[in-house]
Structure 1
Amino acid sequence: MSANGKYASKLVGKRVLIIGGTAGIGLAVAEASVELGAVAVVISSSNAGRIDAAVSHLQKSYPTANCNIMGFKCDLKQEELLEPNIAALFDASTSNGTEKLDHIVFTAGDHPDPTPISEIDFNFIKEAGLVRLFAPLLIAKYAAKHVAPGLTSSFTLTSGISAYRPYPNWNAIGAYVSSSEGLMRSLAVELKPLRVNLVCLGPVDTDLMTRFYPNPDQRKAVLDAISQKVVTGAIGQAKDVAEAFLYCMKDYNLSGSVIHSNAGILLV
């Protein structure tokens, strides 16, 4: 290793699994992992078409990269199949356990459905937790078996600022988002020396915004309003936010920590 490559080379030869890696921040993390020399990048989501499109995008964007780019479907919203789906994902990603992963990044999510407390029931509460709590717990179970041991390996979770500034009718959803920090700290102790951290995000300009605001004019108005409010004067971009996840992978001294990327929105 050359003297001027000791920082840039930390992901060279690594195997990275990104759950929720077909769009937005997850895809940006996948792009960065390929750029930084990962030997294998595995992306996963519940939509086979999006997986194929993301794999094709990565292969076309980095035609000379010496990286095995793969995608596997894993539906985290099927309650009865949740653990079998996760087990199958890890088997596929590691060639049935013969090729250990070095890093796992969890950016998966679903479209939240804010509901007044007077209208929720047990099924709503349970369904709100499938992707936000139950899936990460089960992923941690299989990470313990399929990730290379040692402090150079990592598992990075994702949450949002609603953990600090709840939205209206966010009851069960907000509770699960807030629980991500406690989950991360518990896993950091239980899975040590595997490093476990969490990236807490503010608003980011991704396709999730389009789902919230399908009308282009309304979406632009919302993004402009956020940009005028935040300290940086601009809404977050996936390519910038991805740096927080790269940091969690590359800092071997980091575990049990929350990294914030939110344009300073919690200050105003």
Structure 2
Amino acid sequence: MHGQNVVVIGGSKGIGLEVARQALARGARVTIAARGEAALAAAAAAIPGLETAVVDAADAASVRALFARFDTVDHVYHSAGTFVGGPASGDVAAYRAAIEPRIFGIAHLVAATEGKIPAGGSITLTGGVSTDRPAKGAWITNVGTAAAEQSARALALDLAPVRVNAVAPGWTDTPMWEGLLGEDRHAAFADVAARLPVGHIAAAADVAGAVLFLMNNCSVTGEIVHVDGGHRLI
């Protein structure tokens, strides 16, 4: 990937940051973009060579400003979006964090990169195991991951010869779960791991490896790569 431009939206932590780390190690010029300045600064300090940008993936002007930096972008990984739980009759405003980055954020990304990604370049989106195995109490997150995966299939046709794919993680050990479950995450991880065919939950590096595969294999488009330890089978 020497000399290629890679942009990771939602790249200051977790899977996005690991994608940035792996792409940088392969010689790419990597820009991570996220809303939190402190998290971006910490990521850049931990991984020398990363470039950073403050961006709100759900805001069209913010996304346009990010990609205005570049004449060409070879690969984009869009990991923005989070888990949102709650009853189906819950606060609609709270559901926006699960939906807006994954639907409108993808639309803003497509508009902002028009004419900038060369033939064979790629956009990789983030779905999840909840598309195939909906989680009770998280219906809006289930819808969000499904929307991202269907977007990959549809945009692979609309944006060709730019390639569009999605990675679909299962339970993955990332900082997101610290905020959601706190110390209870360890018990939750152990419970899930005991039921998975592989016997463990994924690390961020496992999912990032799949993203790098999708970036680099020029014959893959419109695909969903599952990194869920066999969760869909149980």
TM range (shorter): over 0.9
Matches of 2:133 and 2:158 in 1, distance apart?
29
Cα deviation, 1:165-192, whole Å, max 9, x if unaligned, reads 1112323332222122221111111111
User: What is the match of residue 19 of structure 1?
Assistant: 9
Is 1:203 matched up with 2:184?
no
Is 1:91 matched up with 2:57?
no
Matches of 1:48 and 1:14 in 2, distance apart?
25
- Which residue identity does 2:34 align to in structure 1? S
How far did residue 231 of structure 1 move? 0.9
The 3 A distance-change label for structure 1 pair 101 and 126 is same
User: What is the match of residue 183 of structure 1?
Assistant: 151
The runs of at least 4 consecutive aligned structure 1 residues that moved more than 6 Å come to: none
How far did residue 266 of structure 1 move? 1.4
User: What is the match of residue 8 of structure 1?
Assistant: none
User: What is the match of residue 44 of structure 1?
Assistant: 33
Query: Size of the alignment, in residue pairs?
Result: 234
TM-score (ref. length: structure 2): 0.94
Please state whether the residue corresponding to 2:67 is helix, strand or coil.
helix
Is 1:249 matched up with 2:215?
yes
TM-score (ref. length: structure 1): 0.83
How far did residue 91 of structure 1 move? 1.3
Is 1:29 matched up with 2:6?
no
Cα deviation, 1:49-103, whole Å, max 9, x if unaligned, reads 11111111110xxxxxxxx5210000235xxxx10011011113x1xx3xx1100
**More off after superposition, 226-235 vs 251-260:** 226-235
% identical aligned pairs: 29
Cα deviation, 1:95-154, whole Å, max 9, x if unaligned, reads xx3xx1100001112341x23223354x4555542112110111011122322x211x10
Matches of 1:255 and 1:117 in 2, distance apart?
34
User: What is the match of residue 79 of structure 2?
Assistant: 107
Matches of 2:147 and 2:202 in 1, distance apart?
24
Where in structure 1 are there 5+ consecutive unaligned residues? Answer: 1-10, 60-67
Matches of 1:260 and 1:157 in 2, distance apart?
12
Where in structure 2 are there 5+ consecutive unaligned residues? Answer: none
Matches of 1:124 and 1:69 in 2, distance apart?
32
Choose which of 24, 38, 57 in structure 1 pairs with 2:46. 57
Please state whether the residue corresponding to 2:209 is helix, strand or coil.
helix
